[in-house]
Amino acid sequence: MLSLENINKSYGSLQVLRDVSLEILPNEIITIVGPSGAGKTTLLQIAGTLDRPDSGKVLYDGDDLSQFKDKKLSQYRNNNIGFIFQFHQLLPEFTAAENVAIPAMIAGESRKQSITRALELLSRLGLADRADHKPAQLSGGERQRVAIARALINKPKVIFADEPTGSLDSRNRDEICDLITRLRDELGHTFVIVTHDPTISRIADRIVHMADGRITMIEPTRVESDPAEESDSDQQSTDSANPLPEAECEINPSAIA
């Protein structure tokens, strides 16, 4: 579904990504972990087309998006890619329902239809009675769920999240993890999540470890369906030079069955 091929990115003389390749499959939850400065956010931004690589390809269903002009790219992004950030970035002057509906309206849907669908989504996420609240009138966990609803409204192929639980307490973290798993299982969404939070890595099908601008290890490799994927992932796993601390490697085997 999404293929990153030999991505390189530098800021001035600092090379932040070095020849990174990664295949993201439909319907999977991937976490990206690694030390601060490893290049995780940069990789997420490039995979999500918010930034462009210096070289390499970002292929969505075979289309190389790094070649798209800005306008076509932002249209593609709005229709196919969802984002969730650590600090939700909701618009303070709009209600929860309006915040969720905005990407649908940008995509050309009527206000009425967009709001109707936003209310359905909020209700699915347990926020039906908060739809008229503005962000300042919501708790941190509620705001993050609104941000998730907003990321889902255009039924994106893939949702990228950068530290989505970073500002939440453990109860809200668990709730967001349950929610992500449910959305993947029920609606078939794909999630790529940068996180320092071992709770999230527990729900991941694969954990991508990064250090110093490279992928150092992918675990566990989900290989049952595609032999080509198997050889790719194997090759990357054997590269492992820099495994992370124990806590970040924690996985629940049932999550990968």
Distance CA 116, CA 101 (A): 8
40-48, 56-64, 115-123, 225-233 -> range binding Mg ion (CB under 5 A): 40-48
Which residue in 24, 28, 31, 41 binds Mg ion (CB under 5 A)?
Answer: 41
Kindly state the smallest distance separating residue 75's Cβ from Mg ion, in Å: 27
Q: How far apart are CB 176 and ligand ATP at their closest, in Å?
A: 18
* 246 in contact with ligand ATP (CB under 6 A): no
- Report in angstroms how near the CB of residue 124 gets to ligand ATP at its nearest: 30
In the DSSP assignment, the letter for residue 226 is: -
Q: Is 102 a binder of ligand ATP (CB under 6 A)?
A: no
Cα separation, 80 vs 62, in Å, equals 14
Packing angle, helices 96-106 and 140-152, rounded to 10: 20
User: Angle of helix 140-152 relative to helix 111-124, nearest 10 degrees?
Assistant: 130
- Assess 41 for contact with ligand ATP (CB under 6 A): yes
Residue 226 token pair:
């595609």
Is residue 134 within 8 A of residue 95, CB to CB? The reply is: yes
CA distance 77 to 60: 11
Pairing of strands 81-85, 158-162: parallel
Q: How far is the CB of 183 from Mg ion (least distance, A)?
A: 23
The residue (of 40 and 157) whose beta carbon lies closer to Mg ion is: 40
Considering the rule CB under 6 A, would residue 37 count as an interface residue with ligand ATP?
yes
The residue among 11 and 69 lying less far from ligand ATP, judged by its C-beta, is: 11
140 binds, among ligand ATP, Mg ion, none (CB under 5 to 8 A by kind): none
Tell which one of 20, 40, 97, 200 touches ligand ATP (CB under 6 A).
40
Q: Residue 206: helix, strand or coil by DSSP?
A: strand
Q: How far apart are CA 20 and CA 207, in angstroms?
A: 15
Instruction: Pick what 38 binds: ligand ATP, Mg ion, none; C-beta below 5 to 8 Å, kind-dependent.
Output: ligand ATP
Asked whether position 201 contacts Mg ion by CB under 5 A, the answer is no
Q: By C-alpha distance, which of 165, 161, 236 is closest to 192?
A: 161
Q: Do 139 and 104 touch, CB atoms closer than 8 A?
A: no
Q: Using the rule CB under 5 A, is 31 a contact of Mg ion?
A: no
Binding site for Mg ion (CB under 5 A): 41
Binding site for ligand ATP (CB under 6 A): 11, 14, 16, 36-42
